[in-house]
A and B are shown apart, each in its own frame.
Chain A
């Protein structure tokens, strides 16, 4: 799986909209962009994923650049519960050789202030 680059940390205030960037310049055409988040002492929580089109769900909006070399996870109106480490991960789409391995990096620590 190709590599991603994320800022080490970001600061925000409750109620703000947060933009978490992820760079993946060497992404392959069959790689999905996945986002997970993790709070201390808990397992990673799935946030969203996309291939080419922007996606939205109850948690976040994922904006994918037209060349797919970067993406941004947008968290509207963050609360203290959104404070976590956010991981941007590339996953190869379903193939016979895919063993399901997810490769986590250090992610972006999002701090949310009252």
Chain B
């Protein structure tokens, strides 16, 4: 059974719209992360949360907002979508959030038209 679930797997959106990317982990971890990978580029760190509190935000735009309703959930809300937001978004988790091993989900591929 998959330990980190990301939904949906694929997402197509129109410019200016809003979407929520879902991430759930069943590893019993206390830290969760979001990364983004645009075409032909390395993975780029976006956010880290530990015990449902924001640890680090490396995203310049406030259009990206993580939402943690439960310890094992970290959703990503993206507002006013732009074509440049098209990328694959990966969720990850780790036990504590302090230098321990991160495990990644399968990703959500977002295409903004």
Contacts and interface: CB of A to CB of B under 8 A. Distances in A.
Interface of A: 32, 34, 38, 41-46, 49, 91-96, 98-107
B74 to A, nearest CB: 12
A103 B94 CA distance: 16
Given A95-B98, A100-B50, A105 B42 contact: yes
21 contacts: A34-B101, A41-B109, A42-B107, A43-B104, A43-B106, A46-B102, A94-B99, A94-B100, A95-B99, A98-B99, A100-B31, A100-B33, A100-B50, A100-B56, A100-B99, A101-B48, A102-B33, A102-B45, A104-B35, A105-B42, A107-B42
A92 B43 contact: no
A100 B42 contact: no
B55 A104 contact: no
Nearest to A45: B104
Contacts of A103: 45
Interface of B: 4, 31, 33, 35, 42-45, 48, 50, 55-56, 58, 88, 90, 92, 94, 96-107, 109
Contacts of A100: 31, 33, 48, 50, 55-56, 94, 97-99, 102
A92 B56 contact: no
A41 B90 CA distance: 11
Contact of A46 (B43, B48, B98, B103): B103
Contacts of A101: 45, 48, 56, 58
Contact of A93 (B58, B88, B99): B99
Contacts of B105: 43
